[in-house]
């Protein structure tokens, strides 16, 4: 039986945790061990599809040799962001030490090393919308509420992620 907490894409695993009590320890552990994981703020993710689009774009960039960042993890974060500013993208989407919810994206084979260290509850990725901060999403993606009269929030976000490479800002 498939594990309902996993959604793999090109050997990447995505997992959502809430009530995390040791995020600063997890961040130190990932950094010290140079583990290939993104530790993301779920509040900016509207739907798992948004993450899939960014992952697909990052993997494509890696395969084509067109990455804007140094590794796949930071490229995923960069692709999630509406900004072409790498520092802004990382600062905005990477989890903060005091966060209690975390979305992890990383190497499927190494996931057990981080999963067991997290003091929190793993929940299905499909529950990500419970943690979405719509006002924050509207702000960072520069979505006007009038746009949502003709489109969904997810479509507006995906549009910005997909078209970032073709805009001047």
Model confidence pLDDT, tens digit, residues 112-145? 889 999 999 999 999 999 999 999 999 999 999 8
Share of the chain above pLDDT 70, in %: 93
Angstrom distance (rounded) from CA 164 to CA 106? 23
The answer to whether residues 37 and 114 touch, using CB atoms and an 8 Å cutoff, is yes
Please state, rounded to an integer, the average pLDDT across all residues of the chain. Answer: 91
Q: Which helix H or strand E contains 17, and what residues bound it?
A: strand 12-18
Tell me the per-residue pLDDT of 78-92, one tens digit each, with 9 for 90 and over: 999 999 999 999 999
Angstrom distance (rounded) from CA 116 to CA 102? 14
- Per domain, the residue ranges of the chain are 12-132
pLDDT band, residue 2 (cuts 50/70/90): very low
Tell me the per-residue pLDDT of 45-70, one tens digit each, with 9 for 90 and over: 999 999 999 999 998 998 889 999 99
Give the list of residues 6+ apart from residue 142 with CB closer than 8 angstroms, or none.
Answer: 82, 160
The pTM of the full predicted model, rounded to 2 decimals, is 0.90
Overall residue count recorded for the chain in this entry = 169
The CATH superfamily holding the domain 12-132 is CGI121/TPRKB (3.30.2380.10)
In DSSP terms, 123 is beta-bridged to 16
pLDDT (0 to 100) of residue 3? 44
pLDDT (0 to 100) of residue 33? 82
3-state secondary structure of 85: coil
DSSP assigned state of 144: -
Angstrom distance (rounded) from CA 41 to CA 18? 11
């Amino acid at each position: 039986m498939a594990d309902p907490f996993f959604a793999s894409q090109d050997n990447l695993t995505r997992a959502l945790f809430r009530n995390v009590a040791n995020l600063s320890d997890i961040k130190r552990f990932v950094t010290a061990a140079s583990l290939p994981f993104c530790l993301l703020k779920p509040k900016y993710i509207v739907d798992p599809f948004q993450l899939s689009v960014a992952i697909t774009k990052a993997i494509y960039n890696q395969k084509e040799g067109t990455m804007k960042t140094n590794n796949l993890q930071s490229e995923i974060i960069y692709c999630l962001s509406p900004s072409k500013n790498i520092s802004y993208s990382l600062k905005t989407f990477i989890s903060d030490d005091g966060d209690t919810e975390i979305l992890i994206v990383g190497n499927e084979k190494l996931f057990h090393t981080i999963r067991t260290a997290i003091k929190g509850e793993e929940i299905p990725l499909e529950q990500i919308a419970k943690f979405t901060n719509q006002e924050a999403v509207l702000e960072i993606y520069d979505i006007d509420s009038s746009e949502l009269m003709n489109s969904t929030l997810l479509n507006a976000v995906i549009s910005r992620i997909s078209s970032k490479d073709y805009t001047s800002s």
